[in-house]
Amino acid sequence: MKVSVLATSSAGNCTFVGTDRTRILIDAGLSRKDTFERLRSIGEDPDKLDAILITHEHSDHVSGLGVLSRYYRKLGRAVPVFMTKLTAPLIEWIGDPPPLEHFQAGTGFSIGDLHVQSFTIPHDALDPVGYTVRCFGGKFGLALDLGYMPESVKYHLSRCHMLVLESNHDIEMLKVGPYPWSVKQRVMGRKGHLSNDVVSEYIAHNLDGENQTLLLGHLSEHNNHPEIVRLVATQALERRSLGTRLIVAETKNQCEVFRLG
């Protein structure tokens, strides 16, 4: 299983997961041009995409979805889009919608040789989900945009060999930052975004010993800094004596390619 985070920030989110047989995107928050350029840079042909999975309806996760779908329709390819039944009505399409695969949050399903498990996350969207993907003995997990770490999310993220997790803000930077107080309260709320401290707590007490790679993303450009994220997470990993490789995603650049299984 091949994984590459093409983008993860408030400006856009998109992750590629694939095998020799099956290729999917999780979220489509980049322009078609950027998505295709980043796919080609990791050796993937955008025309061979098999499906797009959506976590929730916020623009940084779906802003490129309509244009992508229109491109595949013109190409004569029916690339299905998977999203929850409650999320689907909130998406605006350009022309006719693509084939839609609706599912109930918490449902598992297969796309080619990838087995996908969805799970509910606490965020201020209508029906947001995270995903795990299994194939060839490897397990990949992704949870972005969540206000806290409920036990159910911890359960689904257990035994992941690679995990992409939000580390959105530093509490003190957020408090003195430029956002209006109402926005600060939203970000810090239980349906907002994870702070570095909450992520550190998760690493220190819950990160699975089988985890080989932890990628922290969705960093706020105004209320966080990569080196703060790296320091706090590294200290938590060292307390556990885990051999996990830590990656802190750059907000405007895609990440390297990872292989699982």
Q: Which helix (H) or strand (E) holds 151?
A: helix 151-156
Can you tell me the mean pLDDT for 61-86?
A: 95
pLDDT per residue as tens digits for the range 190-201: 999 999 999 999
Indicate the pTM of the whole model: 0.96
Per the DSSP assignment, residues forming a β-bridge with 51 are 24
Query: Is 25:18 a contact under the CB 8 Å cutoff?
Result: no
pLDDT at residue 5, as a whole number:
97
pLDDT band at 225 (very low <50, low <70, confident <90, very high): very high
pLDDT band at 41 (very low <50, low <70, confident <90, very high): very high
What angle in degrees, to the nearest 10, is found between the helix axes of 196-205 and 226-240?
20
DSSP track, 66-131: HHHHHHHHHHT----EEEETTTGGG---SSS---EEEE-TT-EEEETTEEEEEEE--SSSSS-EEE
Rounded Cα distance between 219 and 196, Å, is 9
Q: Which of 55, 39, 57, 56 is nearest to 47 (CA)?
A: 39
Query: Is 34:13 a contact under the CB 8 Å cutoff?
Result: no
User: 113: Cβ–Cβ under 8 A, 6 or more apart, which residues?
Assistant: 19, 21, 22, 135, 136
pLDDT per residue as tens digits for the range 138-176: 999 999 999 999 999 999 999 999 999 999 999 999 999
Q: Which of 152, 151, 147, 95 is nearest to 118 (CA)?
A: 152
